[in-house]
């Protein structure tokens, strides 16, 4: 189900610019974190308080068609605002290069989180430094493909 509503671009200009370039080029430009050359994805979600559509770039951490969303915010003391958005409404859209699809976000704990954390640090080593420099435990979500509408699992997963 496409996310519908009014899009509220991020107040952070570098975030806004990357989303704009990524989407306007059909996922062919603005697809890396510039200083590293490492790939990023764009996650579209609904704002927990505003109800508006929000979009953020995140590092691409992919494994067998599923993706991690690491709420690192560069090791900042507070979680990013998008953390509460995903907790309030887990239905998101993920754009990876030219491909865009509906996904459901689920916060990870325990061994499953540990496995994804390893994948995340392998994809983007600075996550380990971010965890060292902050007292909070950095949350990790897994984004899993939603079954297509009409699929017998579609209702069960909502
Ligand atoms: N951030 C990460 O946490 N992890 C990454 O892997 C990551 C990679 C990355 C790659 C490229 C790039 O350009 C940026 C990257 N970022 C990464 C930064 C990321 O895109 C976010 O900017 C960052 O995590 C901060 O997230 P934020 O949600 O705090 O965004 C700020 C800039 C923002 O837009 N704040 C808004 C504001 O007005 O202050 C709030 C937006 C919002 O979602 N509001 C909600 C609403 O209802 O609309 C309410 C939220 C609430 O508090 O309940």
pLDDT tens across 18-60, in order?
999 999 999 999 999 988 899 999 999 999 999 999 999 999 9
Q: Which of 14-18, 66-70, 135-139, 150-154 has the lowest mean pLDDT?
A: 150-154
Ligand 1 centre to CA of 16 (Å) is 10
Please name which of 111, 130, 110 lies closest in space to residue 121, comparing C-alpha atoms.
130
Ligand 1 centre to CA of 156 (Å) is 30
Angle among Cα 151, 152, 158 to the nearest 5 degrees reads 85
What does the alpha-carbon distance between residue 108 and residue 16 come to, in Å, rounded to a whole number? 27
Q: Which residues partner with 101 through β-bridges?
A: 94
pTM of the model: 0.94
Residue 58 tokens, joined: 């995140």
User: Among the atoms of ligand 1, which is closest to the Cα of residue 59?
Assistant: 6
Whether the pLDDT of residue 158 is over 90: the answer is no
- Residue 103's pLDDT band (cuts 50, 70, 90): very high
């994805």: which residue's tokens?
A: 41
**Residues with a CB atom less than 6 Å from ligand 1:** 10-12, 14-15, 18, 33, 40, 47-50, 52, 54, 56-59, 70-73, 80-82, 84-85
Ligand 1 centre to CA of 71 (Å) is 9
CA 28 to chain centre: 18
What does the alpha-carbon distance between residue 100 and residue 118 come to, in Å, rounded to a whole number? 25
Ligand 1 centre to CA of 153 (Å) is 31
What does the alpha-carbon distance between residue 35 and residue 75 come to, in Å, rounded to a whole number? 18
User: Among the atoms of ligand 1, which is closest to the Cα of residue 80?
Assistant: 29
């Amino acid at each position: 189900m496409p996310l519908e509503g009014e899009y509220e671009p991020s107040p952070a200009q570098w975030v806004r610019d990357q989303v704009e370039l990524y989407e306007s080029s059909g996922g062919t430009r603005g697809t890396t974190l510039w200083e590293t050359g490492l790939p990023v994805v764009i996650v579209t979600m609904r704002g927990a308080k505003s109800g508006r559509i929000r979009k953020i770039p995140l590092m691409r951490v992919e494994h067998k068609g599923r993706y991690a969303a690491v709420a690192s915010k560069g090791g900042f003391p507070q979680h990013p605002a998008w953390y509460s958005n995903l907790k309030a409404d887990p239905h998101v859209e993920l754009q990876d290069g030219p491909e865009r699809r509906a996904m459901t976000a689920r916060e990870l704990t325990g061994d499953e989180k540990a496995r994804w954390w390893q994948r995340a640090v392998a994809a983007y080593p600075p996550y380990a430094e971010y965890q060292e420099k902050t007292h909070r435990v950095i949350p990790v979500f897994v984004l899993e493909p939603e079954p297509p509408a009409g699929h017998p699992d579609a209702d069960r997963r909502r």
